[in-house]
C-alpha cells in the first residue's frame, strides 16, 4: 500500500504548515506530467491560495485545452521568476520523476532549496535522498493515477471537479496508450469509471489529444513511416530516426513526434521499437516494447537513461548516425540476453 495512514498524516502536516507550494515535473513534459501537475494544482488550491506550477520547459501544444494550462510557469521562458519561486517555497512537489537530474536546469534550484520535498512518482529505482516524503510505486500505470489515489486516501474524492477529473484522465490515457499497456490494472479502469460518473466526457478528451493534428504533423508522421522506418526482422525490432533538418522541413512543434515510437511497435512482428530524434545538440531516444522485454535496462546501460520495463528513454551525445550505429551494434547481444522474451 503506497498511501499508508502514517504517510498521509505526514503529508497533511506538510501541506498545512506550508505557506508557499510549488509543483515540479520532469523536462520534456508529457501528458502524465502535465495531467498530474494540473490535477494536484487544482486539488491543492481548495486549501491553499499560494500554489504555483514550475516546469523546466513548455508543454506540447496538444494539451493546451486543459484548465490551468496557461498558468504553468517554465524555467525556459522565465528563469528569474522560477528562481524566486524556489527561494520563497517551503514545500516542493516532485511529480513524475525520481531524481533531480530529470528536471534539467532546475536541478540546482531543487537541490539548494531548504523547502520540504514530496515525491509522487511511478518510476523504478527512486533516489530517496533528495525528498522528505516519498510516494513511489512502479506498478502503478501513471503519476496521474497516484494523484487520484492520494485524494482517495485523504478521503476527499468529493473535491474532484471537472478540471481535476480531466487532468487525471489525460495523464492516465497518455501514459497507458489509452488503457492498452500491461501497467493497466482493474483499479485504473475503476478510476476511469469514477471520473465518468462524475461527469467526465472521455470521448471529448480523447478527441482533444489524439484527433487534433496539424497538417504538418500528419505529413511528418507520414514521412517518418514511409522514408525513415527500418525494420530488423531478424530481431523483431523496428526504429525511426529524425534529424534536425527533417523536423525543420515539417516545421515540427513540441509534441508532434509524440506516439511515433508506438506506431512502430504496432507493426506485425515488431516486439521492440526505438525512435531517435536530434534535438538541442543531442540525440533523444525513446524505446517501447511488448511483454517482458526490458527496454529500461537497454536505456540505462547504454544511453544514460532508464524508465519502465516497456517504456524507457535515453540520450546520445554525438551524431544521429553514430547513435543509430551504437544501437544496431549492441542489439544482437541484448536480444540474445533476452531471447526467452523475444
- Quick: pLDDT tens for 288-314: 999 999 999 999 999 999 888 999 999
Instruction: Give the per-residue pLDDT at 246.
Output: 97
Position 14 confidence tier, pLDDT thresholds 50, 70, 90: very high
Q: Are residues 33 and 179 in the same domain?
A: yes
Q: Are residues 237 and 269 in the same domain?
A: yes
Q: Does residue 114 register a pLDDT over 80?
A: yes
Q: Are residues 177 and 287 in the same domain?
A: no
Q: Are residues 178 and 252 in the same domain?
A: no
* CA nearest to 76, candidates 35, 28, 21, 37: 28
What is the span of the domain harbouring residue 329?
215-337
Report CA-CA distances (Å) from 62 to 16, 32, 168, 255. Answer: 34, 13, 16, 7
Sign of CA dihedral 95, 163, 152, 9: positive
Instruction: Give the per-residue pLDDT at 280.
Output: 81
Instruction: Give the per-residue pLDDT at 43.
Output: 98
Q: Which grid coordinates belong to 328?
A: 544496431
Please indicate whether residue 72 or residue 62 has the higher confidence score (pLDDT). Answer: 72
Average pLDDT of the residues of the chain = 96
Position 195 confidence tier, pLDDT thresholds 50, 70, 90: very high
> Among 209, 229, 254, where does a domain finish?
209
Residue 342 lies in a domain: no
- CA 164 to chain CA centroid, Å, is 18
Instruction: Give the per-residue pLDDT at 156.
Output: 98
Q: Does residue 229 register a pLDDT over 80?
A: yes
Instruction: Give the per-residue pLDDT at 279.
Output: 87
| Sheet with 133-136, side-by-side order of all strands | 72-74, 51-55, 21-25, 91-95, 116-121, 133-136
Instruction: Give the per-residue pLDDT at 65.
Output: 96
At 262-295, the pLDDT tens digits run: 999 999 999 999 999 998 889 999 999 999 999 9
Position 103 confidence tier, pLDDT thresholds 50, 70, 90: very high
Q: Does residue 245 register a pLDDT over 90?
A: yes
Q: Are strands 282-289 and 306-307 parallel, antiparallel or unpaired?
A: unpaired
Residue 70 lies in a domain: yes
Q: Are residues 190 and 260 in the same domain?
A: no
Q: Does residue 68 register a pLDDT over 80?
A: yes
Do 73 and 54 contact (CB within 8 A), yes or no? yes
What CATH number has the domain bearing residue 68?
3.90.1640.10
Instruction: Give the per-residue pLDDT at 181.
Output: 87
> Among 162, 186, 209, where does a domain finish?
209
Q: Are residues 146 and 54 in the same domain?
A: yes
- The pLDDT > 70 percentage for the chain reads 100
> Among 192, 209, 226, where does a domain finish?
209
Q: Are residues 226 and 166 in the same domain?
A: no
237: left (phi over 0), alpha (psi -120 to 50) or beta: beta
Domain count, the chain: 2
Amino acid at each position: 500500500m503506497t498511501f499508508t495512514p502514517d504517510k498521509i498524516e505526514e503529508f497533511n502536516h506538510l501541506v498545512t504548515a506550508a505557506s508557499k507550494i510549488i509543483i515540479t515535473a520532469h523536462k520534456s513534459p508529457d501528458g502524465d506530467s502535465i495531467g498530474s501537475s494540473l490535477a494536484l494544482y487544482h486539488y491543492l488550491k481548495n486549501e491553499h491560495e499560494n500554489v504555483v506550477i514550475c516546469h523546466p520547459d513548455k508543454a506540447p501544444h496538444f494539451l493546451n485545452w486543459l484548465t490551468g494550462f496557461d498558468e504553468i510557469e517554465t524555467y525556459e521562458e522565465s528563469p528569474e521568476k522560477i528562481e524566486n519561486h524556489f527561494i520563497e517555497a517551503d514545500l516542493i512537489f516532485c511529480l513524475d520523476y525520481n531524481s533531480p537530474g530529470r528536471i534539467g536546469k532546475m536541478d540546482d534550484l531543487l537541490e539548494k532549496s531548504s523547502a520540504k520535498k514530496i515525491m509522487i512518482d511511478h518510476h523504478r529505482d527512486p533516489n530517496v535522498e533528495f525528498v522528505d516524503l516519498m510516494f513511489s510505486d512502479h506498478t502503478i500505470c501513471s503519476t496521474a493515477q497516484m494523484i487520484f489515489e492520494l485524494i482517495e486516501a485523504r478521503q476527499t474524492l468529493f473535491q474532484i471537479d471537472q478540471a481535476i477529473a480531466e487532468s487525471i484522465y489525460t495523464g492516465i490515457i497518455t501514459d497507458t496508450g489509452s488503457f492498452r499497456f500491461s501497467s493497466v490494472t482493474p483499479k485504473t479502469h475503476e478510476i476511469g469509471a469514477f471520473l465518468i460518473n462524475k461527469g467526465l466526457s472521455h470521448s471529448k478528451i480523447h478527441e482533444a489529444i489524439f484527433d487534433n493534428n496539424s497538417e504538418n504533423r500528419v505529413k511528418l508522421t507520414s514521412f517518418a513511416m514511409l522514408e525513415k522506418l527500418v525494420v530488423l526482422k531478424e530481431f523483431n525490432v523496428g526504429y525511426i530516426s529524425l534529424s534536425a533538418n527533417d523536423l525543420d522541413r515539417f516545421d515540427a512543434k513540441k509534441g508532434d513526434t509524440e506516439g511515433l515510437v508506438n506506431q512502430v511497435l504496432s507493426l506485425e512482428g515488431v516486439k521492440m521499437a526505438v525512435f531517435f530524434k536530434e534535438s538541442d545538440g543531442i540525440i533523444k531516444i525513446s524505446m517501447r516494447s511488448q511483454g517482458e522485454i526490458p527496454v529500461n535496462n537497454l536505456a540505462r546501460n547504454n544511453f544514460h537513461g532508464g524508465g519502465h520495463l516497456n517504456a524507457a528513454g535515453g540520450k546520445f551525445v554525438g551524431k544521429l548516425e553514430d547513435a543509430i550505429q551504437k544501437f544496431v551494434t549492441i542489439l544482437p547481444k541484448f536480444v540474445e540476453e533476452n531471447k526467452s522474451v523475444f
